[in-house]
Amino acid sequence: MNLENKMWEKLSEIMDPEVPLNIVEMGLVYDVDFNPENGFTRIVMTLTTPSCPLHSKIRKDVEDKLAEFKEVQEVKVEFVFDPKWTLDMMTPEARAKIGR
């Protein structure tokens, strides 16, 4: 398994602070981009709402989880709101867990 796949797995350990689901199954993580030459990792993700009061906690959780990889030297979390997050971005299993 390559490092980016392992990063996706590690990100799936981060639970959404308000919903009992992880940020990957919620569909909040759009992209993981790792540069092996300098260890820079860019995470493109969204939040359920642009005004989410827990954005700092989520950012720190992502940075801390990915810092567990010795290859990672720096993590930049980029929050984007286009496309806007919707329930359709959740995995089918996640939607079933919340009754959707």
Domain boundaries, the chain: 3-83
Q: Distance between CA atoms of 72 and 88, rounded to whole angstroms?
A: 31
- The CATH number corresponding to 3-83 among 2.40.37.10, 3.30.1490.20, 3.30.300.130, 1.10.3720.10 equals 3.30.300.130
Res 1 pLDDT > 80: no
DSSP labels for 14-72?
Answer: PBPSSSSSBTTTTT-EEEEEEETTTTEEEEEE--SSTT-TTHHHHHHHHHHHHTTSTT-
User: What is the pLDDT at residue 18?
Assistant: 86
Which of the four pLDDT bands, split at 50, 70 and 90, describes residue 19? confident
pTM here is 0.93
Helical (H) or strand (E) element with 36: none
Q: What is the pLDDT of residues 39-90, one digit of tens each?
A: 999 999 999 999 999 999 999 999 999 999 999 999 999 999 999 999 999 9
